[in-house]
Chains A and B, each alone.
Chain A
Amino acid sequence: MDTQNTFRIGTGAGFSSDRLEPALDLLRHGRLDAMVFECVGERTLAFGHRDRRGDPNKGYNPLLERRMRAVLPLAHAAGTRIVTNMGVANPTAAAQHTVKIARELGLKGLKVAAVTGDEVNHLIGPDTHLLEPNCKLSETGREMLAANAYLGIDAILPAIEAGADVIITGRVADPSLFLAPLAHHFGWGLKDWSTLGAGTAVGHLMECGAQVTGGYFADPGHKEVPNLAYVGFPLAEVQADGSATITKLQDSGGLVSQRTVKEQLLYEVHDPSAYLTPDVTADFTQIGLADDGQDRVHVTSAKGGQRPDQLKVTIAFDGGLLAEAEISYAGPGAADRARMAGAIVVERMDNLHNSNGPARIDLIGVSALHASAVDYPDTAQDVRLRCAMRASSREEAEVLLWEVEALLCCGPSAGGGYRGHITPSVMTYSALVDRADVKPALEILTV
């Protein structure tokens, strides 16, 4: 391996609420050229828009403050560039806040970039075709909050070329966060499809953090993972041809094996011969995996073809309120009492409150996550009834909570542990826009 020209890139977060300690360990001991914090999903993007509606200075990742405060001094000392989509629905505010933190930490000269242009509300209208409901936007009858296109490396590269130490984006395709520093370091061209495909495979393997190092993998008795409590985050040693060794710090917990790598390789992938990103159509079908020592897997032969002409857009809509209320039954006959309680709530909601809900009754411990598909044996003696519905008004949502709480006196025997929540919710659908209509932009702030 050409260690002289190896690019060392680590993952600092694989989702919005990911742990921080493994990221700090990697920054201290990983000798990283770059670290990526991937913090946006369909759910968290929707939350970002919800937050920004409440406060125009919010809408970025809620953990940005804690992460930056811990990460910036270590990254600065190690000479590690930070690339992150923690800007979520408001990269500019996120960059401004990061500058404020850097000033407080005395990191003079630090360059912080905000990559914007992913918000494409102006390209979306009532006639926009939505992919999954397969209808026009106007037919949903819902109020659009925001539309964000997935940007690619062409949006991030100018920030790297400008020497930014910290690059904060909104919606960017997850693997692109990794591919951009790789393409810059190795001088890969924007049409070097095969190498971009290989780099995209690396980015895809890394983007969910511990999901490639033994997180989300353990199944006691079947799949053992050592020291999962202290699972390490991944580190990729990448070569100029896009091949890479996926590994982690030696003394961290977890596991890097061909099995962990395989599971992550296909995670959220549809056609493995055509994994679409804004940068490339990546092909994982010829990929080769080989053991390269303890907790080291060498990945070769991912390929790629021409990038798509259209970019995917996530459109967020007002989803009304989610009302959830729960109460528990335990001991002999628990499932029967919980089932009776659920039926009573449905009856009262339908007949006394003329409500549409609750639309869902779960018997947690008997039948909940898989309730629509599987009948598991009904032997549980510790069962939690969950009633859930979507409501268009707070009054409607409160009625559900009230009726579940009222089971305490007016329901079956020995129910306890009532909890109720009302959560504002946002829904998302997808559409496509022409790439030429999306204009990425860059703003650089110096501390």
Chain B
Amino acid sequence: MSTQIPLRDLAHARSGDKGNRSNLSVFAYDPAHYDVLRQQLTPELLKEKFGGVLRGPITRYELPNLHGLNFVMDQALEGGVNESLNLDGHGKSWSAMVLGLEIIMEKTTD
């Protein structure tokens, strides 16, 4: 049996900008969920779900000591803070956008 759980229930996140590049860090609340996040929260998934704004290559760095993942996303800010016509030119809200994803969890029966 598996169930879908909002990423927001499993992890916290923050996004930041440099030029037209955005970075997004995601941390498991419970270290036991780090591996599930690592398996499912891939650059490919982010491109598939949010490719409309995450337009360039995405690199993912793993930080097992912090139970976190850091995504570095090129051409992800519609031009960057001084150029974008988006109200959120920093992409500050990208973290909240990604926390809207669902994660598939195997149900334990105990």
Contact = CB atoms under 8 A, between A and B. Distances in A.
A430 B66 CA distance: 31
A288 interface: yes
Which of B14, B17, B20, B52 is most buried by chain A, counting CB atoms within 10 A of its CB?
Answer: B14
Interface string B60-89: 010101101010100000101111011110
Contact of B78 (A262, A289, A368, A372): A372
B53 interface: yes
Interface string B4-33: 000011001110111111010101010000
B68 A266 contact: yes
Interface residues on A, range: 35 or more
Contacts of A259: 12, 27, 29
A370 interface: yes
Contacts of A264: 14
A222 interface: yes
Interface residues of B, number: 40
A355 interface: no
A272 interface: yes
B41 interface: no
Given A265-B66, A429-B19, A223 B12 contact: yes
Contact of B70 (A272, A369, A426): A272
Contacts of B88: 369
Contact of B52 (A222, A284, A373, A426): A373
Interface in A415-441: 425-430
Given A369-B88, A430-B19, 9 more contacts: A46-B82, A222-B9, A263-B13, A263-B25, A287-B65, A289-B66, A359-B85, A372-B52, A373-B50
A270 B18 contact: yes
A69 interface: no
Nearest to B17: A268
Interface in A224-275: 259, 262-273
B38 to A, nearest CB: 15
A285 B70 CA distance: 11
A270 B21 contact: yes
Nearest to A375: B52
Interface stretch (A89-97, A151-159, A382-390, A405-413): A382-390
B43 interface: no
Nearest to A389: B85
Interface string A310-335: 00000000010010000000000000
Contacts of B54: 373
Contacts of A103: none
B82 A42 contact: yes
